[in-house]
Amino acid sequence: MTTTFKIGTRKSLLAMRQTELIIGMLRARVPDVEFQVVPIVTQGDRDRTSSLHVIGGKGVFVKEIERELEDGTIDFAAHSLKDVQPQLPEGLTIGCTPVRDSPFDCLLSPLPLRSVDDLPTGARVGTNSQRRQAQLLNLRPDLEIVPIRGNIDTRIRKITSEHLDAIVLAEAGLNRLEPDTTGLNRLSLRGTLLPAAGQGAMAVECRADDARTLELLARIDDAPTRETVTLERGFMRAIGGNCTLPIGAYARRTPLHPERLAASADGRAVSGAAGAPLTLDAMIATPDGSHVYRASATAESAASHTVETATQHTGTTPEELIASVIRDLHAAGSPL
């Protein structure tokens, strides 16, 4: 008898594409299993005009889906991990995180940009992310940030309809969906903007007590991806952050050396070497970009780090170290 699993997902093109990718991975390993896709409309899909930080952050893309999981209507759900709140509802768990795509952002622009500095004075840049806005304004206070929402194709069309000089998108979404970008130039922002925790990774959420589903999902879990995104999400929980704040976090096994970046011109993530120390880069900012604080920590050394307050910190893990940095910034009266 063939076993059928019901998969919940948003109706957006990217969400459906990611679900297809997950189903393809599972079928390659368990060919005698069937899958039924259950499209679910979320609050984030119903309200396409309000800013995300006003209606509840990116968690508005998963709450209804999580309720279907809790009710047993579906067996598991496919998400972009960056949309999943750092603290899951009781009884739910991340069953697997497949291999991560690029965690970085990029600019799409009709202009031949080599860096953010090449944007003209007062350039109009489209993004609805406070994290992206804060970092861009910190680098270029003259930029005009234009809030835009919608699926990838919709945002690309707004370059013309909203007279934008550029828009900011996640590289992973472009890699997976491959939209038509004829006439546009793509500039990677790796090394310029710190990504959101979990960006570029897909998450498959299920009930924590569903042994059958957990056994299935374990077949496509990628240990290096799980390791890094777990640290990034742990940092978010440690500082009490949520998806509405300008917070970035990126964990990696090896530094992104220039020669390795050049070898990965398609925007895919660069894997770290086994046994290399695990490093976490983190950022918190004010939405207007007037204050952006960054810190880095390496699990192996847990060495002291200096930030704008000139306070040094030590800890046993990167999570503890950077959490202490942020706590001290608050104590020092930083406007965060």
- Just list the catalytic residues: 82-83, 131-132, 149, 155, 243
Q: In this structure, what token pair is assigned to residue 141? A: 């206070």
Non-local CB neighbours of 258 within 8 Å, separated by 6+ positions: none
67 vs 79: CA distance, rounded Å: 14
- Count how many Cα atoms sit within 13 Å of the Cα of residue 32 in the half-sphere of its side chain: 3
| 44 burial level (CB within 10 Å; 0-12, 13-18, 19+) | buried
Q: Which residue, chain included where needed, has tokens 């768990």?
A: 93
Using a 10 angstrom Cβ sphere, with 0-12 exposed, 13-18 middle and 19 or more buried, the burial of residue 289 is buried
- Pick from 10, 2, 1, 3: which is nearest to 205 by CA? 10
First and final C-alpha spacing in the chain: 57
Work out the burial of residue 61: count CB atoms within 10 Å of its CB; fewer than 13 is exposed, 13-18 middle, 19 or more buried: buried
The Cα–Cα gap between 111 and 178 comes to 20
